[in-house]
Chain A
Amino acid sequence: MANSSHGPVLRHLGETKLELGPVVPDEGSWSRGVTEDGILWLVLDHGESSLNTVSRDVIEGLSAALDQIEREIPRAIVIRSGKPAGFAAGADISGFDDMGDAGAVDLLRQGHAVLDRLVAVDCPTICIVHGAALGAGFEIALACDWRIAVEGASFGFPEVQLGLHPGLGGTFRLPALIDPTEAMTLMLTGKTAHTKKAKRLGIADVVTEERHIGAAVAAVVDGNIHRDGPGLKARAFGFEAARNLAARQMRSQTENKAPKAHYPAPHALIDLWEAHGNDPKAMQTAEIESFARLLDTDTSKNLRRVFILRQALKDDARGEDGISHLHVIGAGAMGAEIAAWAAIKGKTVTLGDVDLDPLGKAIKQAQDICKDKHLSDHETRDALDRLMPDPKGYGVARADLVIEAGPETPEVKEKIYAGLKARMKDDAILATNTSSLQLARLRDVAPKPAHFAGLHFFNPVSKMQLVEVIHHDCSDDAVIRRLAAFCSRIDRLPVRIADYPGFLVNRALTPYLMEAMVLMDEGVPKEVIDSAAVAFGMPLGPVALSDQVGLDICLHVAESLKDNLDKPMPEISARLREKVDTGETGKKAGQGFYNWSHGTPRPDAEGGPDDLTDRLILPMLDACVECLRKGVARDADEVDGAMIFATGFAPFRGGPMHYARARGHDAIHDRLKELQAEHGPRFQPDPGWKDL
């Protein structure tokens, strides 16, 4: 359970004391100082946020510093961040949108010129990286001669996730420094290279602890650090034929993960390297042009929008949660995952269940998540120490938050809540993880209705970021705020939702899943259905997704929606009931509509009726409009965020509401009318379309 809270000695000393050489940080983004032996230190501390971003301000500050350096060349230059959290997170993307094509190219040219000057300085330049050096931050580091990584440092180019590629010289400086295939892989996948890997690849020249930074800088300046030149492979890629061959492989691998039609950026990067991989100057010019082009694509705009939606959901959940001890009731798949995840993220967790076996399985599951998340041995030990199986329910009396993840029957939940009365702390919160029952049905049997809410996690909790925080007519606002803050503390994204059948996500998703089954009943092969959805941009087709969610749960939610909504829903397929009856409940059973013994099914089939995609996607959009009309979600952006982070709704389309806006609200309304005429009242457009 080793606690993250330090004792008074370490609280006083602080966990890390950054070596800033002669620099006494002042107000500006860059502070400078010169040591007695003539080494210039430049310390970057930009803005109020805990991480540096590379803005116009930062580039201009560096340019000013270079003016002085060029007048009087120091013995060496050391560049590092003065923020304890890390080096720099990348460019300030909120600034991108205001820039037209020309503006972006201007700024990029300016940035390139500054970094070119840094490269040209006639003395050793050393970048010290602690924490993350991402995007433009990484590019500043690459413009230095040497990189000293503090243990824990990481380097990466996440630009592809925003529909871009590196734009400040990364596309030619990284392949020049390390094995070009490794460089391309980093840029194409957006994955970060952690300290050890960074050293192995040759990104970091020295790896050391913060306390030895002074000595490491001296070693570099004194010429005591050596590195190997580019290998045979790197030289081979100087030839166009070698690059042609490699590029072909990269293209086909990239196409599998990120089809060019939806995600142009990685493909543009491959083109760049293939054409100019042997000519940094040409590559630089082409990089700027290509970057500016990508900035203007819908994909990049939408992906940047997703980034900002995520930020907004996070910002909305700031503040103290007042929750140090979590008690979870029910060690089923969801309860166990919630408990494990919260423990991994530092909460003290007790997991209650009347049976011992599921508690044992929960510990195994927690260990598997730790492994999956690459936790070290001692991090895993501490997480498991914080997660206490609690067959006797001792944790109820100590918990600040109790999450009930019991069976989905009101009677059982009522019984559980009755047992909690008089045992929970006064200000403790009770949250249910129900996915099919409405809170209105449960709040009166909760120990304190005002302290009762919904906390709807998605499966698997360790991968799905969204959590619906659900309030009902007598929830206390402070309770909802604490729950949102709790989600944020355990690194999930909360969205505040009003009590409604299926809440938001299941309300919107269920028609999509049920329509797929109707289509199957009409004789369309499941592979064709799923391929159409994937081609639209969904991460999984509806049939595979139903299997993954669990067919029993799908059935449960579908039935409850059918009973509680005014709108007609697709008929529940008899085949779904059969599957559930025979225990073929999907992924967890190894067999649902698909066989899961060889992992996630990824069908690739063509054909099907012309209106296939619209029949799947438009009901989802219609349900989102209904939820907005009824105030289930606060605004369209939150709907988009929720659907993207809970279901993976095509992120390059910016979310369902954004997609509807782009295609035209009237056009969708009319298309629904057509589908209604052909297939029945379940496609009748929501009255809310008129008010958008």
Chain B
Amino acid sequence: MIRPVYLVDGARTPFLKAKSGPGPFTPVDLAVQCGRPLLARQNFDSRALDLVILGCVNVLQDEMNPARVAALRLGLGAELVAFTTQINCGSGMQSIDTAYRYIREGSHDMILAGGAEALSHAPLVLRRSAVEWFGQMAQARGPAAQAKAMTGLRAEFFKPIIGLERGLTDPITTLNMGQTAELLAHHFNIDREAADTYAMQSHHRLARAQQEGWLDDEVMPAFDRDGGVHDHDDGVRPDSDLAGLSKPKPAFERPHGKVTAGNASQISDGASWVIVASEDAVEKHGLTPMARIVDSAWAALDPSVMGLGPVLASTLLTERHNLGVVDIDLWELNEAFAAQVLSCIAAWDDPDFCRAVLGLETAFGRIERDQLNIDGGAISLGHPVGTSGNRIVLHLANAMKRLGKKRGIATECIGGGLGGAMMLEAV
């Protein structure tokens, strides 16, 4: 008999849009900011946790193994094991997936699983040629050798490369992530207006959720050292409209591309945690689960069309459990790009694609817009890469609870050609 695994609670920071220069929080700062109130509102002692797992892609030099640094800074004690997971944009879900499997297997009972990312802190990277020059300078002994090494100095050495740009470029195909979305838009005939319309809805939905207080238990205000209070996802544009969205030029493939800064996810800082628990832990501490984790899956595909990762990964789940499109009430499909989300929806609705790629007899079916990212997504919220996978699982659980829905899937595409998906059921 398989041990059931529950999501007990979760909280995140607001997602903070990267402005000029590093934001007020490092990845671990963010993890501490939302981890503290999450732990403070539990009725059990934090020492009842037996593992911490944190997804993080851009780890800072000062915070190697951010999971462990966060666990210690959260006061969880010297004896608690903590490790960091990295599967690019799926890292925050990978942490839950690992927790789920450990608990299902019976080795652990309660795990804090999260994601943290501060893209505004992405380092400036020196060119390789500059690094080599520095190396020669350091080795040069005596004034003559130093003078000689000095002559190798080039102006380009002082033009650093923004690490983030490199991180968002696929090393195999050399395509930028935005270009992979352009490729999908071409294959699935997604035009600029459809993408912009989708993006506008994302903003409106998030604005409404904020206004209605639907995020109050999910988003914990963050407080910086200079007295600043950050209490909501600040990338939201409640008054977003098509006229405004039609203005920006294509961001990746000028002049004809369809992917713009307006219909792509935002570059943000944020962290998110969930508490994953066994049935024993739920009983022992008298906890009320938010949802049960039914299953999770990962899939891989060509890096240049990584945006379809959710289709492959989610279909593995539905097939494994003999479920069809009608059985999934809610979807959180990470909005890397509007064109990429719409391509996923189109692919599932395309009988040829489903037969050839997914091995289905016919089309998987149509996922309606009112089941999909109902409170906005990365386009309005932002996409702190290591965090997003965690946030969509947490928000799916919260949305299912709010609406009394039975089953949902949270899924994301992953740069490099992967997809991840996790299925939740109401308890």
Q: Is the beta-carbon distance between A367 and B77 smaller than 8 angstroms? A: no
Bound CA–CA A382/B75 (angstroms): 10
Judged by a CB distance under 8 angstroms, whether A397 is at the interface is: yes
Q: Is the beta-carbon distance between A394 and B225 smaller than 8 angstroms? A: no
Q: Is the beta-carbon distance between A364 and B226 smaller than 8 angstroms? A: yes
Q: Which of A7, A361, A392, A395 contacts B227 (CB 8 A)?
A: A361
Closest CB in chain A relative to B5 CB, distance in Å: 25
Known contacts: A388-B36, A390-B40, A395-B40. The answer to whether A2 contacts B75 by CB under 8 A is: yes
Q: Is the beta-carbon distance between A348 and B227 smaller than 8 angstroms? A: no
Q: Mark A5-34, 1 if CB is under 8 A from B, else 0.
A: 111111000000000000000000000000
Known contacts: A2-B75, A385-B32. The answer to whether A363 contacts B40 by CB under 8 A is: no
Closest CB in chain B relative to A339 CB, distance in Å: 12
Bound CA–CA A3/B229 (angstroms): 25
Q: Which of A8, A363, A386, A390 contacts B75 (CB 8 A)?
A: A386
Q: Is the beta-carbon distance between A391 and B221 smaller than 8 angstroms? A: yes
Q: Is the beta-carbon distance between A7 and B224 smaller than 8 angstroms? A: no
Instruction: Determine the chain B residues whose CB is within 8 A of the CB of A10 once the complex forms.
Output: 78
Judged by a CB distance under 8 angstroms, whether B287 is at the interface is: no
Judged by a CB distance under 8 angstroms, whether A334 is at the interface is: no
Judged by a CB distance under 8 angstroms, whether B248 is at the interface is: no
Q: Mark B220-252, 1 if CB is under 8 A from A, else 0.
A: 010111111101000000000000000000000
Q: Is the beta-carbon distance between A1 and B223 smaller than 8 angstroms? A: no
Q: Is the beta-carbon distance between B229 and A360 smaller than 8 angstroms? A: yes
Instruction: Determine the chain B residues whose CB is within 8 A of the CB of A3 once the complex forms.
Output: 72, 75, 77-78
Judged by a CB distance under 8 angstroms, whether B73 is at the interface is: yes
Find the B residue at minimum CB distance from A3.
Answer: B75
Closest CB in chain B relative to A664 CB, distance in Å: 53
Known contacts: A363-B223, A389-B221. The answer to whether A357 contacts B229 by CB under 8 A is: yes
Judged by a CB distance under 8 angstroms, whether B41 is at the interface is: yes
Instruction: Determine the chain B residues whose CB is within 8 A of the CB of A85 once the complex forms.
Output: none
Closest CB in chain B relative to A328 CB, distance in Å: 14
Bound CA–CA A391/B229 (angstroms): 11
Judged by a CB distance under 8 angstroms, whether B74 is at the interface is: yes
Find the A residue at minimum CB distance from B228.
Answer: A360
Judged by a CB distance under 8 angstroms, whether A432 is at the interface is: no
Instruction: Determine the chain A residues whose CB is within 8 A of the CB of B231 once the complex forms.
Output: 356
Instruction: Determine the chain B residues whose CB is within 8 A of the CB of A6 once the complex forms.
Output: 78
Q: Is the beta-carbon distance between B37 and A392 smaller than 8 angstroms? A: yes
Judged by a CB distance under 8 angstroms, whether A359 is at the interface is: yes
Judged by a CB distance under 8 angstroms, whether B43 is at the interface is: yes
Judged by a CB distance under 8 angstroms, whether A462 is at the interface is: no
Judged by a CB distance under 8 angstroms, whether A350 is at the interface is: yes
Known contacts: A8-B79, A363-B224, A363-B225. The answer to whether A392 contacts B41 by CB under 8 A is: yes
Bound CA–CA A360/B43 (angstroms): 26
Instruction: Determine the chain B residues whose CB is within 8 A of the CB of A356 once the complex forms.
Output: 221, 229, 231
Band of interface residues on A:
20 to 34
Instruction: Determine the chain A residues whose CB is within 8 A of the CB of B43 once the complex forms.
Output: 397
Bound CA–CA A651/B278 (angstroms): 62
Known contacts: A3-B77, A385-B73. The answer to whether A364 contacts B37 by CB under 8 A is: no
Give residues of chain A (355-396) contacting chain B, Cβ–Cβ below 8 Å: 356-357, 359-361, 363-364, 367, 381-382, 384-386, 388-392, 394-395
Closest CB in chain A relative to B1 CB, distance in Å: 35
Bound CA–CA A258/B5 (angstroms): 70
Closest CB in chain A relative to B214 CB, distance in Å: 16
Bound CA–CA A397/B40 (angstroms): 9
Q: Is the beta-carbon distance between A389 and B40 smaller than 8 angstroms? A: no
Judged by a CB distance under 8 angstroms, whether A75 is at the interface is: no
Bound CA–CA A248/B221 (angstroms): 57
Q: Which of B40, B224, B229 contacts A394 (CB 8 A)?
A: B40
Known contacts: A8-B79, A390-B40, A394-B41. The answer to whether A1 contacts B229 by CB under 8 A is: no
Q: Is the beta-carbon distance between A389 and B79 smaller than 8 angstroms? A: no
Q: Is the beta-carbon distance between A359 and B41 smaller than 8 angstroms? A: no
Q: Mark B157-191, 1 if CB is under 8 A from A, else 0.
A: 00000000000000000000000000000000000
Find the A residue at minimum CB distance from B80.
Answer: A7
Bound CA–CA A87/B25 (angstroms): 41
Instruction: Determine the chain A residues whose CB is within 8 A of the CB of B75 once the complex forms.
Output: 1-3, 348, 385-386
Judged by a CB distance under 8 angstroms, whether A398 is at the interface is: yes
Bound CA–CA A1/B71 (angstroms): 9
Find the A residue at minimum CB distance from B217.
Answer: A392
Query: Which of A3, A9, A350, A382 has its CB near the most chain B CB atoms (within 10 A)?
Result: A3
Q: Is the beta-carbon distance between B40 and A388 smaller than 8 angstroms? A: yes
Closest CB in chain A relative to B81 CB, distance in Å: 12
Closest CB in chain A relative to B222 CB, distance in Å: 9
Query: Which of B43, B72, B227 has its CB near the most chain A CB atoms (within 10 A)?
Result: B227
Bound CA–CA A1/B46 (angstroms): 12
Q: Is the beta-carbon distance between A359 and B77 smaller than 8 angstroms? A: no
Query: Which of A7, A350, A367, A389 has its CB near the most chain B CB atoms (within 10 A)?
Result: A389
Q: Is the beta-carbon distance between A7 and B40 smaller than 8 angstroms? A: no
Instruction: Determine the chain B residues whose CB is within 8 A of the CB of A9 once the complex forms.
Output: 78
Closest CB in chain A relative to B219 CB, distance in Å: 12
Bound CA–CA A388/B74 (angstroms): 11
Instruction: Determine the chain B residues whose CB is within 8 A of the CB of A357 once the complex forms.
Output: 229
Bound CA–CA A384/B36 (angstroms): 12
Instruction: Determine the chain B residues whose CB is within 8 A of the CB of A386 once the complex forms.
Output: 75
Query: Which of B32, B223, B226, B231 has its CB near the most chain A CB atoms (within 10 A)?
Result: B223
Q: Which of B37, B40, B72, B225 contacts A384 (CB 8 A)?
A: B225
Instruction: Determine the chain A residues whose CB is within 8 A of the CB of B37 once the complex forms.
Output: 388, 390, 392, 394
Find the A residue at minimum CB distance from B38.
Answer: A394
Bound CA–CA A103/B88 (angstroms): 78
Closest CB in chain A relative to B42 CB, distance in Å: 9
Pick the 10 closest A-B CB pairs, nearest first: A7-B78, A364-B227, A1-B75, A360-B229, A394-B40, A394-B41, A360-B227, A388-B36, A356-B229, A3-B75
Q: Given A5-B77, A360-B229, A364-B225, 8 other A-B contacts at CB below 8 A?
A: A1-B36, A3-B75, A7-B77, A7-B79, A385-B73, A388-B36, A390-B37, A390-B40
Instruction: Spell out B's residues near A (CB within 8 Å).
Output: 32, 36-37, 40-41, 43, 72-75, 77-79, 221, 223-229, 231
Instruction: Spell out A's residues near B (CB within 8 Å).
Output: 1-3, 5-10, 348, 350, 356-357, 359-361, 363-364, 367, 381-382, 384-386, 388-392, 394-395, 397-398
List 18 interface pairs A-B (beta carbons < 8 Å), by A numbering: A1-B32, A1-B73, A2-B75, A3-B72, A3-B75, A3-B77, A5-B77, A7-B78, A348-B75, A356-B221, A359-B229, A361-B227, A364-B225, A364-B227, A384-B225, A385-B32, A394-B40, A395-B40
